Amino acid sequence: MAIQKTQGIVLKREELRETSIILTVYSRDFGKLKLISKGVRLPEQRFISAYELFAFDDIVFYERKKSGFFFLSQCELIDYFPSIRESLDRISYATYFIQCIDSVTPLGEKNRLLYDLLVNSLELLATKASPKRVARIFEIKVLSILGFMPRLKTCANCGKGLNGKSMRFSLSSGGVLCGGCLGTDKKAQPVLAGTVNFISHIEGLPFEKVKMIKVSARVGSELERLLENFIGYHLDIRLKSRDFIRKVNV
């Protein structure tokens, strides 16, 4: 591979020997990449923010022979998101976003929708927007992009239309059950019509419009529980950052 240029978000940083590091970057044009950067940990090197977690960078790289890694030739910072780093709760959610993207993406598989979602979510998180609301938008959009959206407009079991009454949400069925199908999953939980509507609205709107949608405390609480359980069940991921958010109740 010739020298390549792209932009990306740092997902992970690992030390390699005494002076080098491995960066996992989710890039705009190549998907997830493993990049080796040599000499950046020398004593005389000053702190380089472009190499930190969830930094947004311009990068130049080239392929390392007989390896799945690439050599990082140049890394210039676009945005360090300082307002995120000044807040423990926003750092927690930013870490959750990058861990989620790292967990659901293979190396070298380009997905521009996921890349744009990650950049947009971090930029929104850097504003005064509620971190919880940004997280719910992020989670719904990830499910939509990956093709794992819960079934909300028709019954997940029989396919019939929903009337908004006696609805329950079934993890195993992958969506809402109508009144006639409640017996198919005894573990199905009641779900608010506002929760179903919020998820449907977020899925169908572009990011620049969804960031304006507000949510009540009651719906927000149910969304958090429902989406966490749904992602864990269908994407089979358990993230330390999500556990930390829960513990500190941010």
The single residue listed with the structure tokens 């967990």 is: 103
Domain hosting 75: range is 1-80
Confidence class for position 245, pLDDT limits 50, 70, 90: confident
The predicted pLDDT at position 11 comes to 98
Q: Are residues 232 and 200 in the same domain?
A: yes
Mean per-residue pLDDT, 224-249: 84
pLDDT tens digits, one per residue of 90-113: 999 999 999 999 999 999 999 999
For residues 107 and 32, the answer to whether their CB atoms sit within 8 Å is yes
Q: How much is the mean pLDDT over the chain? A: 90
Give the whole-angstrom CA distance, residue 216 versus residue 195.
10
**In 88-218, which ranges are E strands?**
168-170, 175-177, 189-190
| Structural domain count of the chain | 2
Give the whole-angstrom CA distance, residue 27 versus residue 105.
12
Question: What's the pTM value of the predicted model, to 2 decimals?
Answer: 0.91
Of 61, 80, 99, which residue is a domain's last?
Answer: 80
Confidence class for position 15, pLDDT limits 50, 70, 90: confident
Burial class (CB in 10 A: 0-12, 13-18, 19+), 225: exposed
Q: Are residues 7 and 125 in the same domain?
A: no
Of 54, 80, 106, which residue is a domain's last?
Answer: 80
The predicted pLDDT at position 17 comes to 75
